[in-house]
Structure 1
Amino acid sequence: MDENGVSARRDLTSYVGRAEDEARLRRLLGEARLVTLTGPGGVGKTRLAGRVASSMTRVFPGGVAVAGLAGLHEGSMVTRTLADGLGLHDTPARTARDALLAHLRDRRVLVVLDNCEHLAADCAELAAELLRACPDLVILATSRCSLGVAGERVVPIAPLAVPPSSARTVEDAIAYDAVRLFTDRAAEVLPSFRLAGEDVAAVVRLCRQLEGLPLAVELAAARIRALSPGQIADRMSDSLALLTTGARSLPERHRSLRATIDGSHALCTGVERAAWECCSVFAGAFDLAAAEDVCAVPGLAGFAVLDAIDGLVDKSVLLRVDGATGVRYRMLEALREFGQERLVATGAAGVVARRHRDHHARLLEQADAEWFGPRREDWFARLSDRHADVRAALTWSLREPGEAVVALRMASGVIEYWIARGAAGEIREWLDRALALAGEGTPGWATAQARAALCAALHSDLDGARQRLALAETIGDDDAVPAICHVRAFVALLAVEPHALENAAEAVRIFGARGAVRQQLHPMFIAAVATAFRRDLAGARRLLAEMVQLCEAARDEWYRSMALFGLGTVEIFFGGDLGTGERAMRDALRIDLRVPDVLSAAYRVDGLAWASAKRGDWPAAARLFGTAATLWDRCGAEPDIAVSLAHRELLAATRGALGDARFEEAFAEGRRRNPHDLLATPVPARPEEPAADAVLPPLTRRESEIARLVAIGLSNREIAVRLVIAQRTAETHLQHILNKLDFANRTQVAVWVNERLVTRTAPGTGLR
């Protein structure tokens, strides 16, 4: 679930009351298809929705999908946010909404739309369309107002029960949920706190003043370290009196919450108040480094920011979120709105928003600089955690006059992040908007057009890609030439047109001359596949071996997986060595499943299906096509980029060989298989070959493999290409073989291997 929304607080603090609300909500979700929890900010809608949704996974075998909408600024992002929650990718010829409809149409899923009020019309439109098209779908929404969709069941969420003013004993008071919540939260702040004596009347008075509004009660309880319950109640009485005379337009419960927030704000130190207001700019969770950047005001530097954050956590203004990328902090929506109001009132909103944008622009620049190498997975996780704020920073830059140039730089940087997220369509939209606003004279404009063309090509919009490339070429920007060549090569490869190889080779050459190794790699992949299309398998292998070598030197696994997939495609589909191709596909799959990268894994499993089909093992091919289909479905994609020809031809051949009935049976079996299980299945050896992994003592498994390749006459370079290792690695292994066997040359190794293979394949050995 979304840590910025529905389930973020579930395990952080105890949950008080709402048993009847939970039971009623579960019952309604079994009867109605759209249930909306309504009520004022701070009443507990989000937390109640999270509790109920997380308890109903058995009722919804298709899963629970959450879209946390509080940090969104544009209604167009509602659909994308839900698609993100489901792990769906952009697909050619399908919008994000199309992908959602296709994914949800036949599944029983509970969708949670959290914090809809500021985007109510967009949420209502999406909900209505999903409900019409997906008969087993149920939607649970939280909003300060109803969505107004036909069939909607609106459930107003009331504050917690409060005791009568006459309650004087602990037993009488603690029977009410508001008092229980106060005592629980107070004890979390001050472990020695116990409700007793004269504190009972003060707590009762306080809870009645706050009308049982959960957020207000929690904020009041957070002051227990500095004030007694009586002092908190007195201060709350003063705040309410002020608001009653000065803000009569506010509903009474809103006045109660506002009085509590005002009181919490007043209790903060000056630096804590400044940090609260500055940190309200974040759309999602943020870390200390981000807070230090946006809080760059006099008096807030270095340890002062850490102290302020610590103080705000103590006062329940910020919630601590522990995650894979470290400790981060989150602000509840009502408190964020208050901070934003203060920023606007002081005239600082624009300055803080600019600092927020600048922080995320620097974050993307750093990610771009470090993406190629061992930190790619870390950067993907960090950017994913901050995706809502990256969107907010782009939105601000496009709305603020003169800032589109920064948006263009942000959007055209680490393009691999957006592609890995399955969001090529989204980044294409950001690029197009920034290009239109920035104008042709903007530095990097032509390169950004080439990036947008690449995203269009990834969506099979080849005409759109060509139009953007034509615009990029009109500028005459030398810096953009290799990027334009790269995309021209990709378009030509997808369209099966001439000059893919020439354009890719030119991109590789220019990027290489500029020392841009990462930018060389996809053009190198394109060049290898184009070379294979020309039946030059040796040339294709050389290019892919060089690509692997570059990846190994940089310790980059993402592009290495791409190179291994390329090798697998060349060997399997273009008539090379099936065993080598299948091992390359498995090695690529092993990388993808570790990340995990579901879309890439789907390509690799599809490739394994090709190998089985080429070998004539039709049942295995059908099962593998089934497993791949499950992965395609999981990310809402289709095998229509890069592998469409191989996929179509070999899928049709498999179905033709088995017949429809046997094919569907094996395909369904494969759909139920865990792709991780494929890695435990050995690659079948050809009948005329000894097992590729047979060990020849005293050599290791890898040394045995290399010794066999020496025996069939391969050079060190050819061995490196075949095994997808660096040539120097192959040379080192060969030297170890010579040392172990006390041989002086390769000929002695070949004779020794052949003698042992003859013995191993003799009748009666069981190794034929």
Structure 2
Amino acid sequence: MISDADIQNTLGNDPDNQDSLPLLVDRCKNPDRIVIPFVGAGLSKPFGFPLWGEFLKACVGNRPQLQDKINTRLASNEYEEAASDLTNALPYGVFQSKMAKAFGHSNLSSKGLSGAVDQLTRFPSARVVTTNFDRVLETCFRQNGIELRCFCGGDPQYAVEALNQGQPFVLKLHGDWEHPDHRVLTLLEYEKAYGHSDPKSIDMSRPLPELLGLLLKSRCILFVGCSLAQDRTMRTLRQISKQYSEHIQHFAIVEKPDGGSPDQSAASIEKRRNELAELSITPIWYPKGQHGAVESILTYLAEQMETVFPRPRRDKIPDLGNETVGREADIAELASRLTGDSAADRLITILGAGGCGKTRIAVEVANRVKSHFSRGVGFVPLSDLQIQREDRNLLPSRIGKELGVPELPKHPPHESLLAYFRSGKHLLILDTCEHLTEAVSELAGSILGECSLLKILVTSRRVLGSAYESVYPVSPLAVPASADASASDIAKSSAVQLFIQRAKRRCPDFALDDSNAKYVAGICTALAGIPLAIEIAAARLTIRSPAEMSDETAQLLNEQIKESHLSHWKTLSAAIEWSYRLLAPRSQQFVRDMSVFVGGWTLEAAGAVCDPALQSNDVKDLTSELVDSSLFVRSEAGGRSRFRFLDPIRQCMQQERTLDEIQSQQERHARWFLRLAEEAAPKFLTGEQRKTLDALQPELDNFRQAIGWARDTTLPEIALRIMVGLWRFLEIRAYYTEGLSLANKVLAIPGTESAPELKCRLLSGAGMLKYRMGDFAGAETFFEQCWHIAEARQDSVEMADALSGLGLVAMMKGDFKTAQERQERCRTLEVANGNPRNAAVATYNLGFIALGRGDNETAIARLREALNQFEAAHNDRERAFALDSLARAYIASGRPLQEAKNSASIALEIRRKLVDNKCSADSLRTLGWAAVQAGDYESATNRLKEAMMLARGVDDTRGISEALELLALMNANLGNDANAVFLVSAAAKIRGAYGYALPPALVAQREAALERAKTTMGGEAYHAEWNRAAALDLPDVISEALPASFRKQ
């Protein structure tokens, strides 16, 4: 933390700050008066955004007369007049294009935002006010996992509401670069917002002055990055402040004036202090030219506030459970390197033998440096991941899942990681990588090359061989120089300290003294200072004395190797074997049986996989014994106990097994997880969905193991049954890449044709995974394979599944006739099969198709029928689908729009609870459509903007194209014909590239709007606007369409 003395030193030990800074700290730590930052352009400047005056000068171009006029205006702080001159002199489209280029999204797309602005995300209120037009604040907060609701000066009534509740927001007093209708930029716009161009005559009844008044009289404001020059904004704030007899003290972080001579400097400082005092602002001065001090001040304030308002962390760091011994120097060195600026330390590999404490060191380092990595620290265990060359997507997919990064449909999973790690300072820890060195090296090189603020810490027994890699070797703990030394000298050894600490956990009365010191020294020396070996030995203190253990470890080690040098791994193996030999035969068998699990197990799973002769009480007793012996590790997840091995112990125990044991253990393991998958499958689409998904999540490694064993031993039926039960879990939890990889491997097992029903069901599941990824051609291939097998067998259940999938694909392609035919046949089969859930889905699909064909009454009837069935089954996920489609049918049929809003709102609520961003965007578009129809364009804009944001986040190009169509309709209704034409052309390009169809209900409205636009604009202007969008590449179409979506002409 930055100390009080450090920050005063940074500020030049200015006497003026000795009282003012503590006063600001006191305000910041007061929970009854939250400090709200008022952010100026100075905080956006480091990211390439111009100051306002710089932008206005740059807009002039090669126009000498205009240039002189603008320079004169700016010299007099007449920014609004200068903006008016420019907007009058330049065509609207040119000026707006310059705004987009200077302040738009493209300037932030590849930047990780750090520095002073990043420290604001640590302020507990997460509420910010600004007059900036760029999106630096919103982007930086989003990078740190905080979604800010944005309010503009054009809708201050909502901002007043926001001020009176605790939700995060950014209040953009003068609007945003892409929303001219809410912008306060020109003199005319200023007069409209404030009632008069002269601050002395502003209308305090106007919403924006009223809002500013509320801020100044009821909130403590901290001005940062603001020039606070004598421009119109400053004069306006002063005038508003005069309206109130009681004033709250505000603060400003400002550069201290320097007038040249001491007398001139003193006069400049006094003049500046008086100007600020008129606004009740107390300055926090920093030395002239030392703008980096702003970040230091904000960091200091954030740290002070975190002592009162602890900052929630998004870190994923495991709990070690006990104190680390003897590693302070390693931890400090690694922490220093990771927080330093050296390019050589962006990828550090902690290299060492098994059991030497690499993982523990990495976790301690993570906790030491986490405050430095504003976007968080992610710990990803990889000991159980097995990949082949063709499975390289599995590593980024696994990392993404561990960190909660969703895969982007139609994109390889490493692109999702790139988007995530570009967002700011991250530390990624990859644990146990010696079996994945090539894959880890390749992925690390890929993401480090594009994510400048990312650092990676790896633990491994082998170097990666990456060009970015810096190796940090870890040695065992220091052992006593001599066993004959005094107890006090022996106790100085870190290896002995670890033994004592772990021994006290088993025997609280244990103490090192002259009677046992030499034996403890002998144990630690024999075990070569290897931490895990020492822990295992200390755990045996309950049944062995130090003297007995010293003799036994020495004897065992002598047996292991007589003449050659004893490696660290052999020492650890010998220690594990010694502990294992002390167990009774029944316990030894139980340990060997448990080594079949990957990633842990529950007591129920242990009972299913161990020797069938053991009873449940035996399993509990044996598990407790082995936890006490430090051979098992206990943890808790979801209220249930789980157990696991440390990786070196598991490896040693697996080597103790016979071939017959391996076969029987693997089979019992696979059959247990087969049972688990088949019991869970029917619950995935019921009210028990969340509970069932959560129960299966920690078992995913075991499912991978079971499927791999069934594949390797050519047991296609077991592999098929597990995947058939599991694919819906993989779909709902968005394991698209890995789910398809597993499905393809299972389908490739020789003999799957002997289980055609199972093969059909897995083909259908694989088709749905492809469908969710937006790969409709790939989905169709799987569904067709399913159909051919099912039809040949006249298997009505699987024929229905295949028809349902093929109907979905046809529907997405806009072939509604084929889609209806397939869903009708599907529904008939499902009714005959007695499958109510699938029959309800088919009914829903028929309603959706009817809606697409414009048969709204049939659509409403079908969708209501499906909705009733979903509600009866407590199937909320599919209930939301029916509600959203019903809302669309209500809109298309001309029914009261409130009915549509009610249905879509309920659907949105369900989808938000499920954290389903793609479907939430669908419901937001439905609400946006209803608002367009109602002429409520403000609501439509807000809904469609959020829908676009969510759709872009999950790469839902179909959703983006539909949102653009709705925005085009809104623009056409407002008379913004050029915008409407551009947006329709952009949407058409996206749909054409991906084969999406537009719902007929929108087609008619779109065509009518285009005809009006062509008549109004004239053919030449119409085609120019259409071709402008058509000429862009697909990514540019979306980027260019966004500002046009909300632009006024």
TM above 0.5: yes
CA distance, structure 2, for counterparts of residue 628 and residue 271 of structure 1: 60
CA distance, structure 1, for counterparts of residue 327 and residue 891 of structure 2: 60
CA distance, structure 2, for counterparts of residue 573 and residue 45 of structure 1: 62
Q: Which residue of 1 aligns with 2:573?
A: 258
- Is 2:974 aligned against 1:648? no
SS at match of 1:66: strand
CA distance, structure 2, for counterparts of residue 195 and residue 570 of structure 1: 80
Q: Which residue of 1 aligns with 2:625?
A: 311
Q: Which residue of 2 aligns with 1:158?
A: 475
- Say if 1:496 and 1:398 are closer, same or farther in 2 by CA, change over 3 A: same
Cα deviation for residue 14 of structure 1 reads 2.7
CA distance, structure 2, for counterparts of residue 341 and residue 625 of structure 1: 60
What TM-score results when the alignment is normalised by the length of structure 2? 0.58
SS at match of 2:349: strand
CA distance, structure 2, for counterparts of residue 505 and residue 414 of structure 1: 28
Q: Which residue of 442, 451, 455 corresponds with 1:125? A: 442
**Deviations 1:196-255 (CA, angstroms, capped at 9, x unpaired):** 341222222212222221111111111111112222222111111111228x47x52222
Aligned length, in residue pairs: 649
CA distance, structure 1, for counterparts of residue 369 and residue 841 of structure 2: 44
Cα deviation for residue 41 of structure 1 reads 0.8
Is contact 1:6–1:49 with CA below 8 Å preserved after alignment?
no
- Is 2:379 aligned against 1:62? no
CA distance, structure 1, for counterparts of residue 704 and residue 366 of structure 2: 27
Cα deviation for residue 510 of structure 1 reads 2.2
CA distance, structure 2, for counterparts of residue 144 and residue 598 of structure 1: 40
The one-letter amino acid of 1:80's match is S
Q: Which residue of 423, 433, 443 corresponds with 2:756? A: 443
Task: Using the TM superposition, name which of 537-546 and 265-274 deviates more.
Answer: 537-546
Which of the two has higher C-alpha Rg? 2
Task: Using the TM superposition, name which of 465-474 and 386-395 deviates more.
Answer: 465-474
CA distance, structure 2, for counterparts of residue 632 and residue 217 of structure 1: 53
SS at match of 2:774: coil
CA distance, structure 2, for counterparts of residue 631 and residue 17 of structure 1: 48
Q: Which residue of 1 aligns with 2:902?
A: 583
CA distance, structure 2, for counterparts of residue 306 and residue 347 of structure 1: 25
Is contact 1:6–1:46 with CA below 8 Å preserved after alignment?
no
**Deviations 1:45-79 (CA, angstroms, capped at 9, x unpaired):** 11221222244343223333333111112242222
Cα deviation for residue 282 of structure 1 reads 1.4
Q: Which residue of 2 aligns with 1:354?
A: 667
CA distance, structure 1, for counterparts of residue 903 and residue 424 of structure 2: 35
CA distance, structure 2, for counterparts of residue 147 and residue 575 of structure 1: 64
Is contact 1:573–1:646 with CA below 8 Å preserved after alignment?
no
Cα deviation for residue 637 of structure 1 reads 1.9
**Deviations 1:727-752 (CA, angstroms, capped at 9, x unpaired):** xxxxxxxxxxxxxxxxxxxxxxxxxx
Q: Which residue of 1 aligns with 2:785?
A: 471
Task: Give the alignment of 1:221-240 within 5 angstroms.
Answer: 221-240=538-557
**Deviations 1:506-550 (CA, angstroms, capped at 9, x unpaired):** 323322332323333443332222121223334333333333322
Q: Which residue of 2 aligns with 1:25?
A: 334
- Say if 1:330 and 1:508 are closer, same or farther in 2 by CA, change over 3 A: same
Q: Which residue of 502, 523, 534 corresponds with 2:821? A: 502
- Say if 1:138 and 1:73 are closer, same or farther in 2 by CA, change over 3 A: same
Task: Give the alignment of 1:178-217 within 5 angstroms.
Answer: 178-217=495-534
- Say if 1:603 and 1:355 are closer, same or farther in 2 by CA, change over 3 A: farther
What TM-score results when the alignment is normalised by the length of structure 1? 0.78
Q: Which residue of 2 aligns with 1:335?
A: 649
CA distance, structure 1, for counterparts of residue 491 and residue 936 of structure 2: 70
Q: Which residue of 1 aligns with 2:725?
A: 413
- Say if 1:117 and 1:514 are closer, same or farther in 2 by CA, change over 3 A: same
Is contact 1:72–1:392 with CA below 8 Å preserved after alignment?
no
Is contact 1:89–1:421 with CA below 8 Å preserved after alignment?
no
Cα deviation for residue 276 of structure 1 reads 1.4
Is contact 1:622–1:655 with CA below 8 Å preserved after alignment?
no
Q: Which residue of 323, 330, 339 corresponds with 1:14? A: 323
Q: Which structure's relative contact order is higher, taking Cα pairs within 8 Å and 6+ residues apart?
A: 1
Is contact 1:639–1:647 with CA below 8 Å preserved after alignment?
no
Cα deviation for residue 605 of structure 1 reads 4.5
CA distance, structure 1, for counterparts of residue 495 and residue 631 of structure 2: 19
**Deviations 1:170-214 (CA, angstroms, capped at 9, x unpaired):** 543433322222222222222333333412222222122222211
Cα deviation for residue 309 of structure 1 reads 1.2
Is contact 1:9–1:47 with CA below 8 Å preserved after alignment?
no
SS at match of 2:329: helix
Cα deviation for residue 617 of structure 1 reads 4.4
Cα deviation for residue 372 of structure 1 reads 3.2
CA distance, structure 2, for counterparts of residue 639 and residue 164 of structure 1: 65
- Say if 1:565 and 1:183 are closer, same or farther in 2 by CA, change over 3 A: farther
Cα deviation for residue 162 of structure 1 reads 2.5
Q: Which residue of 2 aligns with 1:539?
A: 858
Q: Which residue of 2 aligns with 1:548?
A: 867
SS at match of 1:334: helix
Task: Using the TM superposition, name which of 37-46 and 579-588 deviates more.
Answer: 579-588
SS at match of 2:428: strand
Cα deviation for residue 375 of structure 1 reads 1.8
**Deviations 1:675-713 (CA, angstroms, capped at 9, x unpaired):** xxxxxxxxxxxxxxxxxxxxxxxxxxxxxxxxxxxxxxx
Task: Give the alignment of 1:19-168 within 5 angstroms.
Answer: 19-30=328-339, 31=342, 32-75=345-388, 76=391, 77-165=394-482, 168=485
Q: Which residue of 697, 709, 730 corresponds with 1:384? A: 697
- Say if 1:285 and 1:631 are closer, same or farther in 2 by CA, change over 3 A: farther
CA distance, structure 1, for counterparts of residue 888 and residue 493 of structure 2: 67
- Say if 1:492 and 1:182 are closer, same or farther in 2 by CA, change over 3 A: same
**Deviations 1:363-413 (CA, angstroms, capped at 9, x unpaired):** 110001333323211110111111111112112222222x12221222223
Cα deviation for residue 154 of structure 1 reads 0.7
SS at match of 2:326: coil
Is contact 1:44–1:215 with CA below 8 Å preserved after alignment?
yes
Is contact 1:521–1:559 with CA below 8 Å preserved after alignment?
no
CA distance, structure 2, for counterparts of residue 260 and residue 652 of structure 1: 72
CA distance, structure 1, for counterparts of residue 407 and residue 895 of structure 2: 33
Structure 1 residues not aligned, in runs of 5+? 664-768
CA distance, structure 1, for counterparts of residue 561 and residue 605 of structure 2: 38
Task: Using the TM superposition, name which of 559-568 and 600-609 deviates more.
Answer: 600-609
CA distance, structure 1, for counterparts of residue 378 and residue 698 of structure 2: 17
Q: Which residue of 2 aligns with 1:433?
A: 745
CA distance, structure 1, for counterparts of residue 896 and residue 728 of structure 2: 31
SS at match of 2:663: helix
Cα deviation for residue 132 of structure 1 reads 1.9
- Say if 1:273 and 1:463 are closer, same or farther in 2 by CA, change over 3 A: same
CA distance, structure 2, for counterparts of residue 606 and residue 139 of structure 1: 40
- Is 2:810 aligned against 1:492? yes
CA distance, structure 2, for counterparts of residue 334 and residue 606 of structure 1: 53
Q: Which residue of 2 aligns with 1:172?
A: 489
Q: Which residue of 2 aligns with 1:482?
A: 800
Is contact 2:351–2:358 with CA below 8 Å preserved after alignment?
yes
Q: Which residue of 1 aligns with 2:235?
A: none
Cα deviation for residue 631 of structure 1 reads 4.9
Task: Give the alignment of 1:666-705 within 5 angstroms.
Answer: none
Is contact 1:159–1:212 with CA below 8 Å preserved after alignment?
yes
CA distance, structure 2, for counterparts of residue 357 and residue 494 of structure 1: 38
Q: Which residue of 2 aligns with 1:675?
A: none
CA distance, structure 1, for counterparts of residue 723 and residue 424 of structure 2: 34
Structure 2 residues not aligned, in runs of 5+? 1-314, 981-1049
Q: Which residue of 2 aligns with 1:724?
A: none
Task: Give the alignment of 1:392-411 within 5 angstroms.
Answer: 392-401=705-714, 403-411=715-723
Cα deviation for residue 134 of structure 1 reads 2.3
SS at match of 1:161: coil
SS at match of 1:142: strand
- Say if 1:590 and 1:160 are closer, same or farther in 2 by CA, change over 3 A: farther
CA distance, structure 1, for counterparts of residue 891 and residue 359 of structure 2: 51
CA distance, structure 1, for counterparts of residue 517 and residue 933 of structure 2: 79
Q: Which residue of 239, 255, 271 corresponds with 2:586? A: 271
- Say if 1:256 and 1:534 are closer, same or farther in 2 by CA, change over 3 A: same
- Say if 1:577 and 1:421 are closer, same or farther in 2 by CA, change over 3 A: farther
